[in-house]
Structure 1
Amino acid sequence: MSCETVVIGLNWVGDNVLAIPTYKALQHRFRSEGGIAVAAPANVAALLDASGLFKQVIPWNGSTRKRIAALRAAGSFKRAVILPNSFRAAMVTFAARIEERWGYPTDLRRILLTHPIARPETRGHQLDDYTPLLAALNAPRVVDDTPSIKLPPAIREYGKRRLLEIGMHLDRPILAIHAGGLYGRAKHWGDARYIDTIKMLRLEGFDVVLLTSPGEREQAERIATTCNGVPIVGHDGDVLQLAAALSQCAALITNDSGPLHVAAALAVPSVSIFGPTDPDRTVIAGATHVLRSTLACQPCYQRECPLRHHRCMSDVSVDDVFTAAVSLVSGFVPEVSAHPIEVPIIGA
C-alpha cells in the first residue's frame, strides 16, 4: 500500500531530530493510509530512513526544479505537510500538483497553501513548534514524547568497526568532540579551548574522536594536526555514519549543534556549551549537561558577536568542560556484541 501523505522535512540535522515526535504523530495519524513519506536533504535522509518511522524516504538536494522532479517521481501524493517555513518549501508541493498542502502561512506563501494554519504567536520549546499544525490534522503529539532514534544493530556494529579502524579502543571511554556549527561562529566555543580539552582528556587516558561535516572539515583538520593527530569522522557528510560512530561513544562535547541533538536521540550523554542561543528553546531536559555564562546580552541569536567580545562562550572555562565530561563517563561500561554481525556498506 503506497502512502498518501508526504512530509516536507527540515534542512538542518538538529531540527529534523527535534521534529521526530512530530513525524511520529503524523505516522500514527496516517497509518491507515499507508503511513507517511518524508522528503529531506540527502545527508539527513539516511538517518531518517534508519529511524524506521517512514514508509518512504525521498532524498533531495539542489534546485527547486530538481526537488519538484524528485517529489513527482516518488509517487502521487494526496497530501503534503510542510514543516519548513520557506516560500520554496510550499512552492515545491504546489508545482508537484499535490492536492492538499498544509503549513504555516509564512514568507508570503499563503496563496500556495490549501490549508494555511495559524502559527503560534509565542515560541516555546522547539518540540511544540508544530502543535497547531498537528492539531489541525487531528494528529496530536504524545505529551512528553522526546526525540529518540534506535539504530539497527548492523548500523551500530558499523560504528564499532569504524572506530576500531581509526584507532579507537572500545574497552575504554571514547569522547566525541564536535567543535563546529554551520550557523555561525558566534556559537563556537573556540578551537584553542577544544585543543586544550583534548590534550587534557588524552593525558587522562581517554580516546578522542572529532566529529565534523564537509563544511567544517578544515577546522577539524586544524584541531587534529595541533593535537598531533586526532581521528575524524563525518567529513564526507554522511550523517548516518556519524551517528553510528557517536552511538559507540561514552559522551560528546559540543556547542549548540546538530550532533548535540543526535546524541540526545541516541541516549549518549553530552556536555554542551551555549552562548548566543537559548538552551530552554532546544535542549531536552536531562539529555545534556549545559554550561553557559550569564550575560545581559544573551541570547542574541546572531551569527557573529555584535559586541565583538564573545564572552558568552569564552567565559566558559576548559576546566569546567573537562570536569563535566569526566563526570559523565565515570560509570562507563563498554557495549558488548552478542554475536558477530555482517556489517553492510552504508550508502551502497
Structure 2
Amino acid sequence: MRIRNWIGDVVLGLPALTALEDEGYDLILVGKRWAGDLLAGYGWPVHAKPGKLGDTVALYRRLRAECRALDPGFDSRVNAVTLATSFSSAMEFRLAGLKGLGYATEARSFLLKRTLPIVHGGHALVSYYELTQALCTRKAPPPGEIAFKLAQRHRDEAAALLAAAGITQPYVLICPFAGGTFEKLDKRWPAFADYTRELAAWCAAQGMQLIIVPGPGEDTVAREEYSAATQILKAGMGAYNGLLERAALVVSNDTGPGHIAAALARPTLSVLGPTKPEQWGVWGGAAKIRRGGSAGALWPSVDEVMQDTLTLLGQTAAA
C-alpha cells in the first residue's frame, strides 16, 4: 500500500486502510519516514520510501518476494494499492512487478492492473475510501469518525513533555503553521498571532494554559510571533499526537495536526481561508470548520474565531 506524502492525507486515508484490514488483508505500508511513528498505534509494518527510483523499486521487489513466500496466490490478483495519484507511484509498482489498483489519473492506466475513474471535487477521505472498497466484499459507507489509534508510548511521551514544561492545567493547543499553498494562496491565517494574544489572556483568566508545539525549524517563529503560548519543544510525531489527545481544544490552520486532532475526536477548530472544506476539511463530529469571514472576506476575523473558540470550550466544559 502506497500512502500519501502529507500528514493530513495519511490521516484521511485511514478509513480506507482499516476497511481493507477488516476485509482480511494484511497491510504493508510505504510512505514518508515519519509515517511509521504517526501510525504506530495500528501495528502495521511501515517502510520509508527511498528517494531514488531504483531504491524504491528494489524495496517493492523485496516486499513482493516476501509476500509471495507467504501467499502463493499473491501474483494472481491485484496485490498493491496506491492512494497517491502520481504517475511515479504507478510506474514504481509496474517496475517491481506489482499488480496495482489506483485512480486513472496522470495517464497511468497502462501501468496499473486496475483503475477507477476519479471524481474531482469530493472529499479526499471519501475518494480514498471508495478506491479500497473496490477490493472489499462487505460494502459500507465511509465512517463518520476516523477513530485514530494512538500508541501508549506516545501518551507516555506526551505526559513527560507536559511535566517537563510545568503544564498542569487544562490547555488549548494552537497549530498556526501550515506547509504549502492552496491554489497558490497561503494556508496560514494572517491574524493567528493577534488571536493567540487574545486567547492567551482569556486562558489565563480561566485557569487554563495555552501551548504551541513547533516542528523542525518553526521554534524561532513560535518564539517571536506566538510568545504568549508556552512552547513544547522536541516533540516527535507520536508525542505530538499524545499532546493533541489531551487538549481541551485544538485550534489549527489547514495542516496535519488539525486532521489528527479531529481524528482523535478532540474538539477542533479548523480556521480556513482558500482551502475548500468540502474537499480537504477535517473529519469528525467534534470538529468545527470556520472558513472565511463576514462580507465575503477570505479569512475570518479574530472576533469570529474567538466566538467559535468560546463556544467549543463551553461545550467541552459541559461534556
- Please report the TM-score for the alignment, with normalisation by the length of structure 1: 0.76
3-state SS of 2:28 partner? strand
How much has 1:89 moved relative to structure 2? 1.1
3-state SS of 2:230 partner? coil
Unaligned runs of 5+ in 1: 1-6, 298-310, 334-348
Q: Measure, in 1, the Cα distance between the counterparts of 2:284 and 2:316.
A: 21
Change (3 A) 1:109 1:101: same
Q: Measure, in 2, the Cα distance between the counterparts of 1:290 and 1:132.
A: 24
Moved more, 270-279 or 80-89: 270-279
Change (3 A) 1:8 1:278: same
Residues 197 and 321, structure 1, Cα contact 8 Å, conserved in 2 = no
- Aligned runs of 1:99-118 on 2, under 5 Å? 100-118=99-117
3-state SS of 1:21 partner? helix
The residue number in structure 2 matching 1:91 is 91
Residues 16 and 130, structure 2, Cα contact 8 Å, conserved in 1 = no
3-state SS of 1:107 partner? coil
2:80 partner letter = A
The residue number in structure 1 matching 2:135 is 137
Q: Measure, in 1, the Cα distance between the counterparts of 2:259 and 2:130.
A: 23
The residue number in structure 2 matching 1:43 is 34
Q: Measure, in 2, the Cα distance between the counterparts of 1:215 and 1:89.
A: 29
The residue number in structure 2 matching 1:163 is 162
**Counterpart check, 1:208 vs 2:225:** no
Change (3 A) 1:325 1:139: farther
Change (3 A) 1:162 1:131: closer
How much has 1:175 moved relative to structure 2? 0.7
User: Cα deviations across residues 39-91 of structure 1 (Å, max 9, x unaligned)?
Assistant: 11111221223234x3x221235233333333334452441101100011112
1:101 partner letter = G
- Please report the TM-score for the alignment, with normalisation by the length of structure 2: 0.83
Q: Measure, in 2, the Cα distance between the counterparts of 1:331 and 1:10.
A: 34
Q: Measure, in 2, the Cα distance between the counterparts of 1:65 and 1:174.
A: 47
How much has 1:291 moved relative to structure 2? 1.9
The residue number in structure 1 matching 2:253 is 255
User: Cα deviations across residues 194-246 of structure 1 (Å, max 9, x unaligned)?
Assistant: 4424432443232111133325444323224x43x62134x66x321210121
Residues 173 and 329, structure 1, Cα contact 8 Å, conserved in 2 = no
Residues 262 and 286, structure 2, Cα contact 8 Å, conserved in 1 = yes
How much has 1:271 moved relative to structure 2? 1.4
Residues 200 and 209, structure 2, Cα contact 8 Å, conserved in 1 = no
1:176 partner letter = L
Residues 58 and 74, structure 1, Cα contact 8 Å, conserved in 2 = no
3-state SS of 1:36 partner? coil
Change (3 A) 1:75 1:159: farther
Change (3 A) 1:278 1:93: same
Aligned residues: 299
User: Cα deviations across residues 12-62 of structure 1 (Å, max 9, x unaligned)?
Assistant: 11111111110011112243xxx111111111221223234x3x2212352
**Counterpart check, 1:67 vs 2:61:** no
Question: What is the RMSD of the two structures over their aligned residues, measured on CA atoms?
Answer: 2.6
Residues 200 and 322, structure 1, Cα contact 8 Å, conserved in 2 = no
Unaligned runs of 5+ in 2: 68-73
The residue number in structure 2 matching 1:181 is 178
Same amino acid, percent of matched pairs = 27
- Aligned runs of 1:315-334 on 2, under 5 Å? 316-330=300-314
